[in-house]
A and B are shown apart, each in its own frame.
Chain A
Amino acid sequence: MLSSNIKGVANGFPLLIEVEKVVEKQVDFNEDFLRNLFVKIEWKALVEASRTIGYTELPENAESSMLDSDEFLRKFHHALVELHLEEGALVCPESGRKFPVNKGIPNMLLHEDEV
């Protein structure tokens, strides 16, 4: 969901992910929440992101009709909320700027000259 906002970068999304460590957390499953979120998500970006962190079960393309299948929702839920990048970095696709991730917190602070 994050995008890079360095000056001069037109399309700072999606951020690429460099993985060092991924953790899984159990989160309660809520169907309505996922339905609402589905329209806001750029599916390709999510598929790509979950592939880089090693979860390959998401289908390449998704439509809103697929939201009726429980299996699909489970996968969506797992990729979206249960997988956390613990250590690593987010990389801006255009400028190549790295945002380090420590203990699950991405550091999005910019230097003075980048504002």
Chain B
Amino acid sequence: MTSRPELQAPPEIFYNDGEARKYTSSSRIIEIQAKLSERALELLALPSDDVPKILLDIGCGSGLSGETLTDNGHQWIGLDISQSMLDVALEREVEGDLVLSDMGQGLGLRPGVIDGAISISAVQWLCNADKSSHEPRIRLKAFFGSLYRCLARGARAVLQVYPENLAQRELILGFAMRAGFSGGVVVDYPHSTKSRKEYLVLTCGPPSLSSAAPRGKGEDGESWSDEDSSVDEDNQSICVSDRHRPRKKQKLNKKMKGREWVLRKKEQMRRKGNAVPTDTKYTARKRKARF
């Protein structure tokens, strides 16, 4: 895919003045970012006691995601590597405190002060070596290590990522686990290529009941269209990190489609005007084991 910005240039160069302005003035991107950060905040599962929390927005860019945090009454600190993006954020007068920093060099925050962290479409940048001194593994390690340190015990970090491939996702997840996080990947709309979104939901400390991965949206494959945002809670299911996924799951999905399905298809074909055999008691009947 050439449309991936990570492959074109390093972030501090790719998001130059023009690109930063373009990014922030596109209503489509604003909407997506708002939706993503809304969802990330939901996955953070902060206690609902109306006390403002200090959140971290890693790769805050022009503060689009931070606006959602402000709307929900939280204080936030935004980190980004692109000066141009932060300039735009200043112009838009966002509420959060902005810091120009590179997440691959570690976050540089005091231990235990942050109540939660979100990151929208940023962590996959770490997997690229943009300078000769960059080594993705070391940068990922530094990032997750410092993230773990600055989060309070039991705090969550929700990182929305676009991994390029399976190996990259494994790599990111592996380093998160090594840093001491527990948690897994939550996939929203896994059947859609376009609106598929992956969230790493990480919890500081050992696994517990409260750190079980929340459910992804639209995993039943019915309501994954972009317009359909009214997915109810029942339509969600769990997607655990890859190494815990039961092997048998795939087999179950390949189950036969059944008589009902065949009848429906035949009806469809009839409506199209195709020649379709009449429905009898033999239609879609199961064969005997010794055929």
Q: Is the CB of B98 within 8 A of A104?
A: yes
Contact with A along B107-148 (1 / 0, CB 8 A): 111101100000000000000000101000000001000100
Give A contacts to B, CB under 8 Å.
1-5, 12-13, 30, 32-33, 36-37, 40, 42, 81, 103-110, 112, 115
- Place the interface of chain B in its size category: 20 to 34
Q: Taking A32-B51, A33-B75 as contacts, is the C-beta distance between A108 and B101 under 8 angstroms?
A: yes
| Residue B9 is within 8 A (CB to CB) of chain A in the complex | no
Q: Could you say which of A30, A42, A108 contacts B108, with CB atoms under 8 Å apart?
A: A108
Q: Is the CB of B100 within 8 A of A3?
A: no
A13 to B107, CA, bound (A): 14
Contact with A along B90-112 (1 / 0, CB 8 A): 10000001111110011111101
Contact with A along B24-57 (1 / 0, CB 8 A): 0000000000000000000000000111111000
Give B contacts to A, CB under 8 Å.
49-54, 75, 77, 81, 86-87, 90, 97-102, 105-110, 112-113, 131, 133, 142, 146, 152
Interchain pairs with CB closer than 8 A, number: 68
Chain B residues contacting A5 (CB-CB under 8 Å) are 105-108, 146
What 4 pairs across the A-B complex have the smallest Cβ distances?
A108-B101, A32-B51, A5-B108, A33-B52
Min CB distance B106 to A, Å, is 5
Q: List 7 A-B contacts (CB under 8 A).
A: A5-B146, A13-B110, A36-B53, A37-B54, A42-B110, A106-B99, A109-B100
